[in-house]
Amino acid sequence: MHKFAFSRFEPLHLNGIRPDGWLQEFLEHQATGLTGNVEVSAYPYGYRFWGSQEDDLKGSYGTWWPYEQTAYWIDGALKCGYLIGDTELYNKALSEIDFAVEHADEDGFIGPEHMREKDRWPHAVFFRAVLAQYEISGDGRYLEALVRHYRAMPHPMGWDRDVTGVEILLALYRETGQSDLLEMAETLYARFNALFPEHDCALQTLASDKALTEHGVTFNEIAKLAAMLACATGKAEYKDAVVHGYAKLDEQALLADGLHSCSEHIRGKGARELHETCDITDYTWALSALLQATGEARYADRIEQVLFNALPGAITKDFRALQYFSCPNQVLATSTSNHNLFMHGLNWMSYRPDHEVQCCPGNVHRAMPNFVSRMWLRTPDNGIVAALYGPGTLHTTAGVAETPVTVTARTRYPFEQAIEFTLEPATAATFPFVVRIPAWCAQAQMLLNGKAVETELTPGTFFTLEREWQAGDVLRLELPFTLQLHTWEAGGISLSYGPLTLAFPIPTHAEVEGEGENSTTQQRQATLGEGYEARPTVSKPEFPAWNLTPAGPWAYALCVDEASLQNLRVEWNPQCQDPFDAANPALKVRVKARRVRGWRTVRQKHIRQFGHWTEAGEFRRGLRSIEGDFTFTPPLPDPQSLADRLSDEIEELTLIPYGATLLRLTVFPQG
């Protein structure tokens, strides 16, 4: 690997990384769930696009569209299968990679001919999987194939996302050191900035104070490129702009589960703002680029918050259904409950294996494998960085002599407040070992072989311990969690505990949507009109679409402020087997609350919707009025009249980790 001279941290190859404990179990749920049964998510899944020379585009939203969706799955399935040793899943994804590489055109171009001169965005998605296979196998043919592809012809810049080829070009430059690849990356990026100077992700716009309005996925896929270029070139204008751009994103759109709003465009910070499940993956992947460019611990803190909260909060815990839009406050999740203006009143918030637009059913497979792949990083002087915490093992080399080292992280973090690292160098070796002190942890402690390390551990920083490491050395990092109170718009408050967002799990009545009532099929028919073509579907009863409605009271205001926060107690559950089991969670926090009179779901017969549909044979997109029987999660009650609506009776609520919930209240009125 050709190290980037200006990176604070460098990535490690996937073949030296393995998960363990709850991370292993999470990925196993993926493999037995949607990742290993992706055909239940319907077209284009179950169809081989990269793995075939046959296009089946009838009824597709665009000629490039099924290549993007299936590439998401290939990338996630390949990494998931490899990390847990599921050879069937791994080989299923690998077969598509190998076919595409082996059937490149004579000049090296990979993929369908109709994407040669435009719509190269899906290549960036697919080539991440090809690069992962190179990391796994060490087979240089994969690198050579990608280099030949990019040298085959000038890279087109037909629409904004075509610029994402920069990511792959830089990855190839990192691996090969071939300078023309860096030149191609900078040229492509410069063309994007020249063609789209007002784009939210244009370098000058990132550096400005212009409010963000871009599609969430587009923002994360493009904005991060400046961080990657900063690592390769050292140009301050790249790094400064992207750091400022993501600070704007936090200020404008951060939600209680750690992710920003994106429904589908970046919006505000309200309790009913939603995020697209795609952005769970794309935001955390982008933050890993900022982490490498800056070395700042806050980006790793945020990655953990999103992956420990927003990701499991957007899926059923068996990984057999997901939401397209997910929300900190969702009192119901049905085929008519989407309260977002975009696709208002449709099933985009329901937990189901299929969705009308198929990016999220593909991209969700990448989220946790990507997290595992970035748990460990490298310092420029060949030290080891424990960047993201969880159970697992790293096999690598370290120090000037590149001594083989195995590091094992034993922990249930974030469902435990300590991580124990055992280092096993092949021979005694001197190298830096770097750990992260999260910003939320004010009393971190470190023990080396049972003895306290007398040093200051500053919250929100990385700490480096450089010494001669002996086989069997144990470094224990203790990270006591604390409860924190967060304030939101409209008088809302939420609680967090260490990296975990807390939520009230609303008692739930669950009904399975009948196969003949498939709301996704009905929505696709309305969208495509005569262009819709019914396709053979794979339906498995263990992969249902759910309609979830409240089966008990939920309209509560929390009787919590900064003073009373100190009196709350956290009850850890040593008998917890699955930390995402709401019936037996890893921890509970009991809080006082009052019911809010008149705070109830919103029933409507007539709504306005921004969407897309086909009418009289013409595809349309925009605002329209529709009729139906709709029920929505309500906004927070008006804080000005809240006091008069509070019950006199004080009750006790039990809050649990956000990731263990389906229906939930996370942002409460303060009573």
Residue 391 per-residue DSSP state: S
Residue 315 pLDDT greater than 90, yes or no: yes
β-pairing verdict for 429-437 and 384-386: parallel
Distance CA 644, CA 596 (A): 9
Smallest CA-to-CA distance from 421 within 406, 437, 400 is with: 406
Q: What percent of the chain has pLDDT over 70?
A: 100
pLDDT at 530: 80
**Arithmetic mean of pLDDT over the chain:** 96
Smallest CA-to-CA distance from 592 within 621, 619, 569 is with: 569
β-pairing verdict for 492-497 and 500-505: antiparallel
- Domains in the chain (CATH in brackets) are 33-196 (no CATH), 377-413+418-478 (2.60.40), 483-669 (no CATH)
pLDDT at 343: 95
If you write DSSP's letter for every residue of 101-114 in order, what string do you get? Answer: HHT--TT---S-GG
Residue 656 pLDDT greater than 70, yes or no: yes
Which long-range contacts link 204-208 to residues 24+ away (Cβ below 8 Å)? 204/241, 205/245, 206/241, 206/242, 206/244, 206/245, 207/237, 207/240, 207/241, 207/244, 207/245
Residue 665 pLDDT greater than 70, yes or no: yes
The band of 57, judged by pLDDT with boundaries at 50, 70 and 90, is: confident
Q: What is the pLDDT of residues 235-264, one digit of tens each?
A: 999 999 999 999 999 999 999 999 999 999
Q: Where are the alpha helices (DSSP H) in 503-627?
A: 519-528, 562-565
Residue 1 pLDDT greater than 90, yes or no: no
Q: Which two tokens stand for residue 322?
A: 């997901």
The band of 535, judged by pLDDT with boundaries at 50, 70 and 90, is: confident
β-pairing verdict for 325-326 and 275-276: antiparallel
The band of 61, judged by pLDDT with boundaries at 50, 70 and 90, is: confident
In terms of Cβ atoms closer than 10 Å to its own Cβ (0-12, 13-18, 19+), residue 345 is buried
Q: Which helix (H) or strand (E) holds 73?
A: helix 65-84
pLDDT at 653: 97
In terms of Cβ atoms closer than 10 Å to its own Cβ (0-12, 13-18, 19+), residue 567 is exposed
Q: What is the pLDDT of residues 438-497, one digit of tens each?
A: 999 999 999 999 999 999 999 999 999 999 999 999 999 999 999 999 999 999 999 999
Report the half-sphere exposure of 390 (CA within 13 A, side-chain side): 27
